[in-house]
Structure 1
Amino acid sequence: MDYLKTFLEITGCLVVLMSLIPLIRNDYWTFRVFEYPRLQKLVLSVAVAGMYLSLFFSTEVRTLLFSGAFVLNSIYLCYLIYPFTPVARKVILPAEMHLPENRISILSSNVLQDNKNTAGCLNLIRKYDPDIVLLLETDGFWYESTLVLRDSYPYQMTVPLENTYGMLLYSRLVLSETEVRYLVDEEIPSIKTLVTLPSGQKVQLFCVHPTPPVPGENLYSTERDKELLLIAKEVKANRWPCIVVGDLNDVAWSYTTDLFTKISGLLDPRIGRGFYNTFHAGIPVLRFPLDHVFCSTDFKLVGLARLENFSSDHFPILLSLQYEPTAASRQQEPEAEPEDIEVANEKISKEVPE
C-alpha cells in the first residue's frame, strides 16, 4: 500500500504541476501545450484525489497537504471547465425566429494532407449541404479532387499548398473583396472575404489556420498568438457583422483564445453547450477543441455539430448562424480591460523567435 500511496502522490503532484504551468505566460511550447488537456487533467485529478482520500486519508500533516492540493486542483479545474458545460450560461442565444434569408451555414474541416479519402469528404459535404465549405491542410491532390464542388459552389478562393497550410474556400453565397493574406509568415495564408447573405446583408468572414506551438511545427506560440490577435483587432474595427472560422491550433479555454475574444468582441458558441472536441479523431482520450467558429453579437445560433470523420485526424465542425440586428442588445460582447489591450499589443509587436 505504501507503493500505491507514493504513486498517487507523485501522479497527483504531476497533475497539479500541469495545471499550474499554463499560468506562466511564456510562449515556449512546453508552457503552452499543457493548456490543451484540461478535461483529461480534471479526470486524473479527481481520480487521484478520490483514491487518495478514500485509501490513505489521515490527520498526518503530509497526508493533509497532499489531500488539500489534490482537492483544490480538482476544484480549480472544474471552475475552468464549467463555462463549456451545458449548465453554464450560453453567450450565443438560440435563434427563435425563422429568417432563412439571413442564415449562413459553414462546414470547416482540417482534412489531413496525407488523407486520400476525398470521396468521404465530398459525401459529407453533400449530406449536410452547407452554404460555405472551408477545407484546411489541402494540397494539389485535394484541390484537384474537390474541383467538382465548383458545380454547387460557384464562388471560391483556393490556396493549395504542400506545407500542410493550404486552404480551399467554396461558397454558394456571393463572395466579394476576397483576399489571401500572409499576416505573420509568408508560407501561412489566411483568407478574408465579404459574404453576401440572401437578404443582401454582408458579413465579413476570416478563415485562419496558424501554426501550433509543438515540436516539429513551431517551438513557440508567438506566431499563432500574433496572427489571432491581429485578426481580433481587425474584427473590432470592422463595420460588418463578423465570423472567424478555422483550425486555430488552440483550445477554446486557453489564455490566448480568451484574449482573442476580448479584443475582437466575438462570441464562442461552445460556451454553455459543450466541448465539441475535434482533434485527435483517432485517439479518444486525447481530444481537444481546436477547430472553431466565432461570431459577432448580431448573430444567433441555429445549430452547432461535430460531424463524422472521413479518415482525417480532425472531426469536421458545422455551424449555422442567423443574422439578427437586434441580437446584440440581448447578448453581451466580451470586453477587453486596458491590461488586456496592453498584453495584446505586446504580443503583436513581439519578434518571432528564430
Structure 2
Amino acid sequence: MAPSESNEPAPSRSHRQVILVRLLQLAIAGLLLATLIGWLGQYSYLADLAAHFRLQYLLLAVPLTLLLAAMRQWKSTSVGLAVVLINAGCIAPLYWPAPVPPGNTASLKVIAVNVHVANRNHARVQKWLRSEQPDVVIVSELSTAWSHAIAELTDQLPHRIEQLDVGNGGLGVYSRFPLDESEWHLLGDVNHAGRIRITVDGTPVTVFGVHTYAPFHRWMSEMRDEQFARLAELVDSTETPVIVAGDLNATTWSAGLRSMLAATGLVDTRVGFGLQPTWPTTPWPLRIAIDHCLVSDGITTVSRRVGPDIGSDHFPIVVELRLPPTGQ
C-alpha cells in the first residue's frame, strides 16, 4: 500500500455538518452567556468587562443565527435571536432622535481628547483644534510636552487649569471663557477631576474634566467605580447645569458608570447620534465607546461626532450643546 493511502474512511458530509452545527451552537451559546454575564458587573470585575462589547456580540450573533436558521436548528436559532434582541435593545436607544427644543439659548462646543502621553503629533492636534474652534477642551494624558503644545493655542483658549503627570494621569481643562471658579478634586487616591465654572451668554455652567482608571486589573476596576461614586457626589452638590467629559474608561453599560448616571440624572450626549466608539483606533466594529460627554437634564445636544485620527490610541469627541435658559 502506498504511504499516502489510509484505511481510515473519509469523513462523510453529514458528519462534517454535525461538527459544524455543534461549533455554531457552542458559539451562539457562548455569546448568550457573555451577553447575560455583562449585567452582573456589580458582582464581578470580569463580568463588568463583558458588558463593554454589546456591538461585537450583535455583529457576531447575526450571521451565526442566520446560519443556524438555514440549517433548521430552531432551538439554537432562538438562542441567537435572544442574543441579537438583547444587544440590539441596548444599542438602539442611542439612535432614536432626541428632540431639540426651539430657542436661541447659549451654545457651547466641547471637545474631549485623550492625546496619548507618547504621541508626538502636536502640530496635527493644534491644527485640528484651531479648525474646530471649541469653547471648552478636556485633554487626558497631559504631559509637559502636550502642555506646551496646547499653550500655543492661548489665543483661542486663554483660560486653563492643568494637572501634569509623568505617566498617563495628566489632565487639562481649557476654556475660551474666563473661569469664574476652578478647583481640582481628588478622585480616589491619585486621579483628579478638574472643575471649572464659566458663564456663557449669562448662563453659568460647570464643567468637570475627568480621566478615570483603566480597568486592567480588579483593583483598578474597583478604584474606577469609586471614582464614579465620588464624581456623582460632586455633580449632585453643584448648583449650575453640569457637563462631565473625558476618558472615562468605561462604556455606559458598565455597572459603575450606570450607577453614576442613575444617581446624578446625567444624560449621555450620544442619544440620537449613535454608538460613536472611540477606542482603540482599529476598524469601527472592533471599537468601544469609552470617551464621553454627559450633561445635566436641560442641556440639549445639537450635534455629536467622533473626531479624526490624531495619532493617539483614542479618537476625540466633538459635542455641540445648547444650554438651558438662565435661571433653569
In the alignment, is residue 66 of structure 1 matched against residue 76 of structure 2? Answer: yes
Q: How many residues align?
A: 312
Contact (CA 8 Å) 1:243, 1:296: kept in 2 or not? yes
Contact (CA 8 Å) 2:300, 2:322: kept in 1 or not? yes
| Over 6 Å off, 4+ runs | none
Shift of 1:254: 3.0
Q: Which residue of 1 aligns with 2:321?
A: 321
Q: Which residue of 2 aligns with 1:205?
A: 207
1:134 aligned to which of 122, 134, 138: 138
Q: Which residue of 1 aligns with 2:89?
A: 79
Task: Name the CA distance, whole Å, in 1 between partners of 2:139 and 2:211.
Answer: 10
Task: Name the CA distance, whole Å, in 2 between partners of 1:159 and 1:250.
Answer: 22
Percent same amino acid among aligned pairs?
Answer: 25
1:83 aligned partner, one-letter code = P
2:221 aligned partner, one-letter code = S
Matched residue SS, 1:149: coil
- Structure 1, unpaired ranges of 5+: 58-62, 329-354
Contact (CA 8 Å) 1:193, 1:206: kept in 2 or not? yes
In the alignment, is residue 259 of structure 1 matched against residue 262 of structure 2? Answer: no
Q: Which residue of 2 aligns with 1:339?
A: none
Counterparts of 1:184-199 in structure 2 under 5 Å?
Answer: 184-186=188-190, 188-197=191-200, 199=201
2:55 aligned to which of 28, 39, 43: 39
Shift of 1:33: 1.1
Task: Name the CA distance, whole Å, in 2 between partners of 1:142 and 1:292.
Answer: 21
Shift of 1:7: 1.6
Task: Name the CA distance, whole Å, in 2 between partners of 1:325 and 1:138.
Answer: 34
Shift of 1:64: 4.3
Contact (CA 8 Å) 2:161, 2:172: kept in 1 or not? yes
1:73-113 deviation line (CA, Å, top 9, x unaligned):
2222122222112xx252xx3253334xx221111101111
Task: Name the CA distance, whole Å, in 2 between partners of 1:262 and 1:326.
Answer: 25
Cα 1:82/1:285, change in 2 over 3 Å: closer
Matched residue SS, 2:174: strand
Contact (CA 8 Å) 1:32, 1:213: kept in 2 or not? no
Shift of 1:278: 1.0
1:214 aligned partner, one-letter code = F
Q: Which residue of 2 aligns with 1:345?
A: none
Matched residue SS, 1:252: coil
Task: Name the CA distance, whole Å, in 2 between partners of 1:166 and 1:27.
Answer: 30
1:82 aligned partner, one-letter code = A
- Structure 2, unpaired ranges of 5+: 1-16
Shift of 1:129: 0.4
Larger Rg, first or second structure (1 or 2): 2
Contact (CA 8 Å) 2:126, 2:149: kept in 1 or not? no
Contact (CA 8 Å) 2:136, 2:175: kept in 1 or not? yes
Contact (CA 8 Å) 1:150, 1:170: kept in 2 or not? no
Matched residue SS, 2:282: coil
Contact (CA 8 Å) 1:132, 1:172: kept in 2 or not? yes
Task: Name the CA distance, whole Å, in 2 between partners of 1:238 and 1:140.
Answer: 31
Shift of 1:117: 0.5
1:322 aligned partner, one-letter code = R
